[in-house]
Each structure stands twice: as structure tokens, then as C-alpha cells.
Amino acid sequence: MYIDESKRERYLMAGIVIADAHVDQCRRRMRSFLLPDQERIHFKSESDGRRRSILEGISRLPLSAVAAIAPKPMSERAARAMCLEAPARHAQTRGVQLLGLERSESFAQFDRDIARRSFVVGSILQEVSVRLLPAKDEPLLWISDAIAWVHLKDAQWRARAPRVQVL
């Protein structure tokens, strides 16, 4: 599962699950949207036309998406914990063994702790690898970024994206 957040108006984390057999295909597809000299897709920086085109491509990919939204008002730390824990627990129930999160220097250890805690069943830590990644290095995070951005927009934008299960 690859997870990214949006902090516009409300705090939200979106995660995507892709079968191992489709990971390379999805990465290639996302890289195909890069413009010359562009390092990554960051949805808030894209034009509406590019957003529509990218969402059309994402909607054709073999993936499932989830999101967790923090209620207002809530501190960023509490919102981040709640919004990370929900998709991480969802991933654990689906047998996911890799959590890829966009690296946030100020939350690195916090994110690792929350993610690992979400994989404890009873008193046993389930097998999980937590990777904190620079967004420019992992195109699958660009998909989560797009889904998070869209989910906090209006219904017209949400209709263009893959179906999102709100946790």
C-alpha cells in the first residue's frame, strides 16, 4: 500500500493497493505523465487539463483505493495518527506486506511507529516493511496524492477518480 496525505481544509490520507504483478505497469504509466524536466506528479501543481488526463489514466489502472479523513478540529499529530492508522489496518487485513509513505522528516519516526502498531494482531507483529520514500522516487505515491487531492474536491472531480472506500 502506498499512502499520501492532503492537508487542504481537512486532513486526509489516501492509500492504494496494487497487486505485485501490476506494480511495474502502474509505475510506467505514471512516469508517462511526466513533462520534460518534471521530477514528479504533484496534483496541487497540475493544471485542470493535466489533472483530467492523469485521472483518466489512473482510473484504468488495476488498483483499489482507500481514504481516511480526520474530523475537525484536531491537531495535525492526532489527525495524522488517525488517518495513517486506518489505511494501515486495512492493509494488514488484506495481507499487504509493504507500506510506502511519502517521507516527512518531521514525522518519520512517528509514521513508522503508527504503521508498525497497525500491524500488531494480539501481541504479534505481522510481517510488514515500512518505507518512507521521497515522492519524486516513487510514482505510486503520485497516485495516492491524486486520490487525496480529488477526494477533498467536489463530486465532479471525485467522479473522475477510481472509487475510494472511506475508512
Strand 120-121 with 124-125, pairing: antiparallel
Residue 130 — pLDDT band, cuts 50, 70, 90? confident
Q: Which three cell numbers stand for residue 16?
A: 492504494
Strand 2-6 versus strand 12-17 pairing type? antiparallel
**Nearest-5° Cα angle at 2, 96 to 87:** 65
Q: Which of 151, 109, 150, 73 is nearest to 101 (CA)?
A: 109
Which pLDDT band holds residue 45 (cuts at 50, 70, 90)? very high
Q: Answer whether residue 138 shows pLDDT above 80.
A: yes
Helix runs in 34-166, H state only:
48-59, 76-93, 108-117, 139-151, 155-160
Tell me if 58 sits within 8 A of 162, measured CB to CB. yes
In the chain, domain spans:
2-166
Rounded to two decimals, what is the model's pTM?
A: 0.91
Q: How far apart are CA 52 and CA 130, in angstroms?
A: 31
**What SS3 state is found at 9?**
coil
Q: Across the strands, what pairs with 14?
A: 4, 67
Q: 129 pLDDT exceeds 80?
A: yes
Which H or E element spans position 29? Answer: helix 23-31
The whole-number average pLDDT for the span 20-42 is: 97
Q: How far apart are CA 80 and CA 61, in angstroms?
A: 27
Of 155 and 35, which is predicted with more confidence? 35
Determine the topology of domain 2-166 in CATH. Answer: Nucleotidyltransferase; domain 5 (3.30.420)
Tell me the mean pLDDT in the region 69-86: 92
